[in-house]
């Protein structure tokens, strides 16, 4: 039955690949990057880190950043640019993996239905800014390479709330880009390609919130100043309230955060129902 539903969604009778399901289809490429120590030593921000923070970044299993390249996919509420060949563009997402700045979550009002105010404080720590700048530089380097030269004509660095541009529909824009291109590749959106120029773009709207919701009700050992709940999910200083979701996770995961939910739920249930907290 599930297979029949899938096939029905994939093919609505107008031809294979034209059904409802294919509206959300995309081709994607993902790269997790880790910058070598030789690069880090040239960054002024690296020398400001303590030994614990340096060890975090040098962990071979912990990438610095993620580059997500998609064709044909759009976020909710966005529209495909008009034109004859709407798939002639792609979106590139750059995802920071090891933020050192500590964000803040506060209540917007006394109404529990009001969305809480989340401030990640992205630019508070200089190393966070450095990784963001280096990621943009890496993206530009990749798409300028010979391998992409015959595929990608240029990059439009947009603010997070801007609609994608359909360049081919605007002959004036096409001509401007051709005149601006160096070795067949153009870049729009930056004042200049210096570190300072890239940082200005990031601060002026190039960077947006994108995160896995967890850690706002941190679990910790007794005496931990950042602890909100104990090992069983009980809130410090309150009776009769337990938390059983990813907000209690003390270590922020980089991906597949939902995999923790069954474990957190089982632990909370064990502590509450059986009066037993494993581990």
Q: Tell me: the pLDDT tens digits for 87-109? A: 466 778 788 888 888 888 888 99
CB-based burial label for 202 (10 Å; 0-12, 13-18, 19+): buried
- The residue ranges of every structural domain in the chain are 25-98+125-206, 212-279
pLDDT at position 102 is 82
CA distances from residue 245 to 68, 104, 203, 258, 265 in whole angstroms, order as listed? 27, 18, 32, 9, 7
**Strand, coil or helix: what is 73?**
coil
pLDDT at position 79 is 52
**Strand, coil or helix: what is 252?**
coil
pLDDT at position 25 is 53
Residues of the chain with pLDDT under 70: 1-27, 71-89, 163-169, 209-212, 252-256, 274-279
């Amino acid at each position: 039955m599930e297979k029949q539903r899938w096939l029905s969604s994939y093919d609505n009778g107008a031809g294979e690949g034209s059904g409802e399901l294919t509206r959300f289809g995309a081709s994607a490429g993902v790269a997790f990057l880790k910058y070598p120590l030789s690069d880090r030593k040239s960054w002024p921000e690296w020398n400001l880190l303590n030994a614990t923070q340096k060890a975090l970044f040098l962990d071979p299993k912990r990438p610095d950043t993620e580059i997500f390249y998609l064709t044909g996919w759009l976020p909710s509420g966005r529209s495909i640019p008009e034109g004859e060949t709407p798939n002639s563009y792609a979106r590139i997402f750059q995802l920071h993996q090891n933020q050192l700045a500590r964000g803040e979550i506060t209540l917007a009002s006394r109404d529990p239905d009001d969305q809480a105010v989340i401030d990640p404080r992205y630019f508070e720590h200089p190393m966070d800014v450095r990784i963001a700048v280096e990621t943009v530089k890496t993206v530009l380097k990749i798409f300028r390479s010979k391998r992409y030269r015959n595929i990608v004509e240029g990059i439009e660095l947009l603010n997070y709330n801007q609609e994608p541009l359909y360049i081919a529909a605007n002959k004036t824009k096409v001509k401007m880009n051709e005149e601006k291109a160096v070795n067949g590749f153009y870049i729009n959106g930056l004042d200049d390609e210096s570190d300072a120029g890239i940082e200005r773009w990031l601060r002026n709207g190039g960077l947006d919130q994108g995160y896995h919701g967890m850690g706002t009700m941190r679990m910790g050992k007794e005496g931990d100043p950042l602890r909100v709940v104990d090992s069983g999910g009980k809130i410090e200083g309150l009776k009769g309230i337990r938390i059983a979701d990813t907000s209690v996770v003390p270590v922020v995961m980089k991906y597949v955060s939902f995999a923790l939910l069954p474990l957190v739920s089982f632990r909370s249930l064990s502590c509450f129902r059986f009066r037993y907290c494993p581990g």
